[in-house]
């Protein structure tokens, strides 16, 4: 097991250690048209039973342009995605009308977790 796998498992363990704080979600990878490079609106595939930790933005960061007051951040351990890199336009579905579109992705140096800046779809 390499160092990257160790960090990935540690990130998953940290999320699960929060007990009831992580939220169950379904990750939807958006398909892109190979010719135009534009999102098709359809799912390329879906990953169920992910766990994500919600974080609200600090009030000082909200500028109502790049970051809206309704925006959220989610920490999603990479181990749930099996090597898939989340990108802008992918979605997190928490059930009901709780679908959030990925706006910006930041990944830690070890590739163990992704910080997703999301906006309500």
d(CA 11, CA 70): 26
pLDDT tens across 38-90, in order?
A: 888 889 999 999 999 998 888 888 899 899 999 999 999 999 999 899 999 99
Query: How many C-beta atoms lie closer than 10 Å to residue 1's C-beta?
Result: 7
Residues 6+ apart with CB under 8 A from 10: 112
Residue 6, H or E segment: helix 3-17
Best CATH choice for the domain 3-120 from the list 3.40.50.300, 2.40.10.270, 3.30.465.10, 1.20.1070.10: 2.40.10.270
Average pLDDT, whole number, for the chain? 87
Of residues 80, 3, 102, 89, the one with CA closest to residue 41: 89
72 pairs with which residues across the strands? Answer: 56, 118
pLDDT in the model for residue 102: 97
Domain ranges for the chain, please list them.
Answer: 3-120
pLDDT value, residue 11? 67
């Amino acid at each position: 097991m390499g160092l990257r796998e160790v960090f990935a498992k540690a990130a998953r363990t940290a999320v699960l250690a929060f007990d009831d704080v992580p939220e169950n979600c379904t990750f939807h990878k958006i398909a892109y048209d190979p010719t135009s490079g534009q999102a098709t609106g359809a799912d390329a595939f879906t990953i169920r039973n992910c766990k994500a930790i919600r974080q609200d933005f600090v009030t000082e960061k909200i500028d109502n342009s790049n970051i809206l007051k309704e925006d959220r951040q989610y920490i999603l351990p990479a181990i749930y995605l099996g090597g898939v890199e989340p990108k802008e336009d992918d979605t997190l579905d928490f059930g009901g009308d709780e679908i959030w579109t990925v706006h910006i992705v930041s990944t830690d140096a070890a590739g163990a977790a992704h910080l997703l800046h999301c906006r309500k779809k």
